[in-house]
Structure 1
Amino acid sequence: MSEKNKISRREFLSYSAMAGAIGALGVTPLLSACSDDKGGKNAALRDAGSVYIPELPDKAVDGKPLKAGLIGCGGRGTGAAQDFLNAADNVTVVALGDVFPDRVENARKELKEKHNIEIAAENCFVGFDAYQKVIDSGVDVVIIATPPLFRPTHFKYATEKGVHSFLEKPIAVDPEGYRMIMATAKQANAKGLCVVTGTQRHHQRAYVESFKKIVLDGMIGEITGGNVYWNQSMLWYKTRQPGWSDMEWMIRDWVNWKAMSGDHIVEQHVHNIDVFLWFSGYKPVSATGFGSRQRRITGDQYDNFSIDFVCDNGVHFHSMSRQIDGCSNNVSEFLQGTKGTWESGGGGSGACVIKDLAGNVLWQYDLEAEKAAHQQNNPYVLEHVNWISCIRQGTPIMQAEETAVSNLAAIMGRESAYTGKTVTWDEISAASLNYMPEKLELGPMDMGKYTVPVPGEAKKA
């Protein structure tokens, strides 16, 4: 491994005012690590002391009671609140907040029906300032699952008030949000707060065991490239209803608007981009890509992207994402190394496998063994197990910074596709782009700002 490639991910995070945290514990592998050509053990890509691999029991450790507030009561937020409740004993949800009252009531009803939790009416808040009221209600922790545009602001307020945060991914949609996340993460670190993000592959045992085999055992050698995919059918959308203002429609239909979601390369495909950066430890420095809008029904974003990412050491990895019905689907990651390859199971199944350069299987994650050894195998729950354990044990954890790097890499790829130009890390990290509307109110918007991007220049007659 070259000296240049020995630059750690932590050094890059520090360079960008960050220090990453890498999560999760695996189970017993099927095969032991392979040997190098000289008959010895493979060289580790990173020192074991530089990576963080917490335990992932079926439930978090016992400890002080924790009261949670939920900000963003849609499907993902309500699901995250239930994951929190399933992750530990002696935890509860005591406050709800959302822009819309019907979402608050739906979440309140579901928590009552499924977990017998009665949330007092005075702790149910509605409006753009509901996040402040939830955080100020006396909660110990907050689950932030609003549309991604708002997450940096909500994280900032929670940190100012000394509240531990779970941030659903993505955690920003633009460079301004990225910079706010980075600054807030430093403040959270200084206060000893525990922050976990919704990049659940960091808490999926198959991925963590793969990380250990690749990074600590060096089973595929030095990483020389890779491909990451999130190709699936079209996501949901909301047809505008009578009486909905421009702002209400955009928030209810948020997954289709680039200002609200960051576009699907950011909102969804960030998972796969994050896996490559997490495993390799490389630093993304530029992106050249393209994309288009072919089938999307609402909103102003693309439905396909193809991006060539370049890392600081010259290694390229290809990113492909698509949300169109009737096409070939693929949700997975592939790494090429000097001694072999690693690929994850399709759809994030965790059926991970390492092969040598001749295609022989050297190691494969045993999903059945995991099921036999653990009662809780849902990574959406295990990320809360880790978060709660860290809080109760007083063990610092800060995933916001590392996730922010992957998040901004996705934004860099998006902007390259939108403009048709190569975009560098230095350019995107300093860019003034800010999607936050001047006024936060359920009223009319200047919809002329929300048009589908067209790259390049038109050919002149």
Structure 2
Amino acid sequence: MDHSKKNQKTILQSSRRDFVKNTAIFTAGMLLPTMEMAAMANVFNDKTLKLAVVGCGGRGTGAAVQALRADENVQLVALADAFEDRLKGSLESLQKEFEGTKRIQVKDNHQYVGFDAYKKAIDQADVVILATPPGFRPYHFEYAVNSGKHVFMEKPVATDVPGVRKVLEMAKIAKEKKLSVVVGLQRRYQNNYLAIKQQIDEGKAGLITSGQVYWNSSGVWVNPRTANQSELEYQMRNWYYFNWLCGDHILEQHIHNIDVANWFIGEYPISAQGMGGRLVRTGPEHGEIFDHHFVEFKYPSGAVISSQCRHQPGTWSKVGEVFQGNKGIIDMNDAGAASISDFQGNTIFEYKGRRDPNPYQVEHDKLFASIRNKEGLNDAEIGAKSTLSAIMGRMATYSGQMINWEQALASEKILMPQEVTWNSIPPTVPGADGNYPIPAPGKTIIF
């Protein structure tokens, strides 16, 4: 999620490699080439679709590339970001990526900067990419849906429960309007995950009774504070470390693995309890979030999922999921491996393909096919409920209490202000010693 130009370049280079591969979409148990899907879609509608990007960091820039590659009749017409340097850097990268084409049509007066810029950009488009820090997502999604726009939005879709409820409300309205909405939970568009889900549905692993899901890594970027920088700008440029903007890494990153558990089990958790804290990332440059969380999620069926996420350099790293069914063990790996084995170690099923096609690309292929074919693909409710699952985990680790679904869903605690201006005071500010208040289990009030 690094917003630097270096990260934008890396994403674009990665995209180039992915696009020259044999892109395909896993649908109804078979693979369909992307170009075939695009051709099928355009039989129904060859209108040029206007695209706007709200949030011009690395993810927004990468998503713009994927959207433009998904459909040959899409033009980027507007950009919006809180920071002009990010917007200009994104535009420059995209112009280089599509040099010699007419795909980038962003006029000077359609480059919008500021906290209200999203409205102006959305107004120009048929399809919008929402890729700002996730605290803003509910309000941006609300405006887009009320404006009748199709949406790709990054996960998570909120940082607090009032935001989740807003997304759930707008998800229903989007369905009523037959708008297409895709949320960036790309494992749901990834071939090895789709193949294993089909095997689960066919009963090959039996009933899932337990599992372990992981996002253990060394952590992410830090942007040092600069001279004459306001507290708001500092937090905006280091949004990952502030809950009103990010929601902690159990939400911003680990939501992927929690979502896989929800998807494979076919339920959402009814309760969560766990622990967490800060042992390695303890300085003010790491804001207010924890560097480790461990949560037990219990599901209506009785399944219990152990959830780990950690940002500690030099420790064991794993991003993936393992599940135990009453017939076998499911082992997932984000790199592309996937298998089901029995309790004696014999293979029941093995996914022998590769991670290709790039699931980040497939998300957009499916979105634009849905728009063209008027299918009304809508991930918003799934995204909101998996967001709530991760927030419930954060509530459990911050408070040290058992949190249930109904209790979490009823929370009125607002982390993200509805309106932010450059004169706003952030919801969290440092103390006299320069440190931010840190959640303390047994003391922190989460409702």
- For the aligned pair, the TM-score class normalised by the smaller chain equals 0.7 to 0.9
Q: Report whether the alignment pairs 1:218 with 2:195.
A: no
- For residues 244 and 222 of structure 1, the distance between their equivalents in structure 2, rounded to whole angstroms, comes to 54
Give CA-to-partner distance per residue, 1:108-147, whole Å, 9 cap, x none. Answer: 101101112242111100011111000112x110000000
Instruction: Kindly state the Cα deviation for residue 397 of structure 1 after the two structures are TM-superposed.
Output: 1.0
- For residues 213 and 32 of structure 2, the distance between their equivalents in structure 1, rounded to whole angstroms, comes to 26
In the alignment, what sits opposite 1:418? Answer: 398
Q: Report whether the alignment pairs 1:271 with 2:256.
A: yes
Instruction: Kindly state the Cα deviation for residue 159 of structure 1 after the two structures are TM-superposed.
Output: 0.4
- For residues 139 and 255 of structure 2, the distance between their equivalents in structure 1, rounded to whole angstroms, comes to 20
Q: Report whether the alignment pairs 1:440 with 2:420.
A: yes
Instruction: Kindly state the Cα deviation for residue 445 of structure 1 after the two structures are TM-superposed.
Output: 3.5
Q: Identify the match of residue 122 of structure 2 among 119, 135, 141.
A: 135
Question: Does the C-alpha gap of structure 1 residues 447 and 280 become closer, same or farther in structure 2, counting only changes over 3 Å?
Answer: closer
Q: Report whether the alignment pairs 1:57 with 2:42.
A: no
In the alignment, what sits opposite 2:107? Answer: 120
Instruction: Kindly state the Cα deviation for residue 438 of structure 1 after the two structures are TM-superposed.
Output: 6.5
3-state SS, counterpart of residue 417 of structure 1: helix
Letter in 2 for 1:292: G
Whether contact under 8 Å (1:55, 1:386) holds in the other structure is no
Instruction: Kindly state the Cα deviation for residue 326 of structure 1 after the two structures are TM-superposed.
Output: 0.5
Give CA-to-partner distance per residue, 1:78-122, whole Å, 9 cap, x none. Answer: 111111122221212110000111111011101101112242111
3-state SS, counterpart of residue 53 of structure 2: strand
Letter in 2 for 1:289: G
- For residues 56 and 259 of structure 1, the distance between their equivalents in structure 2, rounded to whole angstroms, comes to 41
Q: Report whether the alignment pairs 1:228 with 2:213.
A: yes
Letter in 2 for 1:151: R
Instruction: Kindly state the Cα deviation for residue 367 of structure 1 after the two structures are TM-superposed.
Output: 2.4
- For residues 448 and 106 of structure 1, the distance between their equivalents in structure 2, rounded to whole angstroms, comes to 29
Whether contact under 8 Å (1:352, 1:364) holds in the other structure is yes
- For residues 81 and 26 of structure 1, the distance between their equivalents in structure 2, rounded to whole angstroms, comes to 22
Q: Report whether the alignment pairs 1:352 with 2:338.
A: yes
- For residues 350 and 61 of structure 1, the distance between their equivalents in structure 2, rounded to whole angstroms, comes to 25
In the alignment, what sits opposite 2:269? Answer: 284
Give CA-to-partner distance per residue, 1:162-212, whole Å, 9 cap, x none. Answer: 000101011111101000000000110000000000000011111111111
Give CA-to-partner distance per residue, 1:415-448, whole Å, 9 cap, x none. Answer: 1100111111111100011112365122444644
Whether contact under 8 Å (1:193, 1:397) holds in the other structure is yes
Letter in 1 for 2:278: R
Q: Report whether the alignment pairs 1:72 with 2:46.
A: no
- For residues 25 and 201 of structure 1, the distance between their equivalents in structure 2, rounded to whole angstroms, comes to 13
- For residues 257 and 445 of structure 1, the distance between their equivalents in structure 2, rounded to whole angstroms, comes to 10
Whether contact under 8 Å (1:70, 1:144) holds in the other structure is yes
In the alignment, what sits opposite 1:333? Answer: 321
Whether contact under 8 Å (2:25, 2:34) holds in the other structure is no
Q: Report whether the alignment pairs 1:144 with 2:130.
A: yes
Whether contact under 8 Å (1:334, 1:342) holds in the other structure is yes
In the alignment, what sits opposite 1:45? Answer: none
Letter in 2 for 1:173: T
Instruction: Kindly state the Cα deviation for residue 451 of structure 1 after the two structures are TM-superposed.
Output: 1.8
3-state SS, counterpart of residue 344 of structure 1: strand
- For residues 343 and 336 of structure 2, the distance between their equivalents in structure 1, rounded to whole angstroms, comes to 22
Q: How does 1:376-395 map to 2 (within 5 A)?
A: 377-395=357-375
Whether contact under 8 Å (1:56, 1:385) holds in the other structure is no
Whose relative contact order is higher, 1 or 2, with alpha carbons under 8 Å and at least 6 apart? 1
Letter in 1 for 2:114: G
- For residues 179 and 267 of structure 1, the distance between their equivalents in structure 2, rounded to whole angstroms, comes to 18
In the alignment, what sits opposite 1:158? Answer: 144
Give CA-to-partner distance per residue, 1:398-420, whole Å, 9 cap, x none. Answer: 10101211110100010110011
Question: Does the C-alpha gap of structure 1 residues 131 and 446 become closer, same or farther in structure 2, counting only changes over 3 Å?
Answer: closer
Question: Does the C-alpha gap of structure 1 residues 419 and 156 become closer, same or farther in structure 2, counting only changes over 3 Å?
Answer: same
In the alignment, what sits opposite 1:298? Answer: 286
Among all aligned residue pairs of Structure 1 and Structure 2, give the percentage whose two residues are the same amino acid: 40
Give CA-to-partner distance per residue, 1:35-59, whole Å, 9 cap, x none. Answer: xxxxxxxxxxxxxxxxx88975324
3-state SS, counterpart of residue 442 of structure 1: coil
Q: Report whether the alignment pairs 1:86 with 2:69.
A: yes
Instruction: Kindly state the Cα deviation for residue 452 of structure 1 after the two structures are TM-superposed.
Output: 1.2
Letter in 2 for 1:126: V
3-state SS, counterpart of residue 259 of structure 1: coil
> What is the root-mean-square deviation in Å for CA atoms of aligned residues?
1.9
Whether contact under 8 Å (1:294, 1:303) holds in the other structure is yes
Instruction: Kindly state the Cα deviation for residue 234 of structure 1 after the two structures are TM-superposed.
Output: 1.7
Question: Does the C-alpha gap of structure 1 residues 298 and 457 become closer, same or farther in structure 2, counting only changes over 3 Å?
Answer: closer
Whether contact under 8 Å (2:207, 2:325) holds in the other structure is yes
Whether contact under 8 Å (2:160, 2:416) holds in the other structure is no
In the alignment, what sits opposite 2:190? Answer: 204
Q: How many residues align?
A: 401
Question: Does the C-alpha gap of structure 1 residues 386 and 231 become closer, same or farther in structure 2, counting only changes over 3 Å?
Answer: same
Question: Does the C-alpha gap of structure 1 residues 193 and 304 become closer, same or farther in structure 2, counting only changes over 3 Å?
Answer: same
* 240-249 or 420-429: bigger deviation: 240-249
Question: Does the C-alpha gap of structure 1 residues 54 and 237 become closer, same or farther in structure 2, counting only changes over 3 Å?
Answer: farther
Instruction: Kindly state the Cα deviation for residue 26 of structure 1 after the two structures are TM-superposed.
Output: 4.0
Q: Identify the match of residue 403 of structure 1 among 383, 393, 398.
A: 383
Letter in 2 for 1:357: F
